């Protein structure tokens, strides 16, 4: 009997082949590549800071980031990092467009240069913090396999937004034990990631 969990494996695209074909001028490959990251583009374009500043243009600007990712990707680069590479290109394009929009608004409103600079710095910090949070989450997930099974299960549950009580019920553990697994896991993750505070 074939397990259902394996049925979607063939849906995963061959990014390496798509990139190679797209860089060689294949419109079909480029369209397929754009479709692969359509959901991520929509998500990034819908961020409040993007929609407030860019409106309906945000999605097109995010798609421009995907096209630039295809253009800048070098053969031999780690294909497993393609999603992060594309996401960074999209964020860069959105951030650049927001900065330009702010400059236009500043010039039209006759505001002084200091106010414009403060606004630009604030926007940049929001993107930086967002990027740092994503990086930390990715590092934690990468390190989960280095934790004992129960500790990894607890951290996975917490990353999914579950409470200690919910995790305890799923793992058939009392809340105190779950809390202990969480503390030990966090301590080990800090050691693995070199976090001293």
pLDDT value at residue 10: 46
pLDDT value at residue 3: 47
101, 53 contact by CB (below 8 A): yes
CA 92, 128, 78, 156 dihedral sign is negative
Which of 1, 38, 35, 41 has its CA nearest to residue 18? 35
pLDDT value at residue 172: 92
pLDDT value at residue 1: 43
25-57 burial code (b ≥16 CB/10 A, e <16): eeeebbebbeebbeebbeebbebebbeebbeeb
pLDDT value at residue 7: 45
pLDDT value at residue 177: 92
165, 125 contact by CB (below 8 A): no
- CATH of 128-197, picked from 1.10.10.10, 3.40.50.1820, 1.10.3720.10, 3.30.720.200, is 1.10.10.10
* Opening angle at CA 105, ends 126 and 92, nearest 5: 40
End-to-end CA distance of the chain: 51
Q: pLDDT tens digit string along 113-164? A: 666 566 666 666 666 556 556 666 666 777 788 888 999 899 888 877 788 8
56, 27 contact by CB (below 8 A): no
Instruction: Tell me the pTM.
Output: 0.49
What does the DSSP 8-state code read for residue 107? H
Neighbours of 60 (CB within 10 A): 13
Long-range contacts, stretch 12-16, CB < 8 angstroms, 24+ apart: 15/79, 15/82, 16/79
pLDDT value at residue 43: 87
- Given a cut of 70, the residues of the chain with pLDDT beneath it are 1-12, 48, 53, 102-139, 193-197
């Amino acid at each position: 009997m074939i397990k259902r969990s394996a049925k979607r494996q063939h849906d995963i695209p061959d990014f390496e082949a798509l990139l190679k074909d797209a860089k060689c001028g294949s419109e079909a490959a480029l369209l397929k590549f754009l479709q692969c990251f359509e959901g991520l583009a929509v998500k990034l374009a819908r961020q409040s800071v993007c929609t407030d500043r860019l409106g309906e243009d945000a999605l097109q600007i995010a798609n421009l980031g995907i096209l630039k990712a295809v253009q800048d990707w070098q053969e031999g680069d780690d294909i497993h990092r393609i999603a992060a590479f594309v996401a960074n290109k999209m964020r860069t394009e959105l951030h650049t467009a927001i900065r330009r929009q702010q400059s236009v608004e500043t010039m039209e409103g006759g505001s002084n240069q200091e106010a414009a600079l403060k606004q630009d710095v604030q926007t940049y910090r929001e993107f930086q913090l967002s990027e740092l949070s994503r990086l930390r989450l990715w590092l934690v997930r990468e390190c989960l396999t280095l934790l004992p099974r129960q500790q990894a299960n607890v951290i996975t549950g917490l990353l999914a937004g579950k409470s200690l009580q919910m995790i305890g019920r799923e793992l058939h553990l009392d809340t105190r034990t779950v809390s202990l697994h969480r503390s030990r896991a966090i301590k080990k993750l800090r050691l693995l990631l070199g976090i001293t505070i």
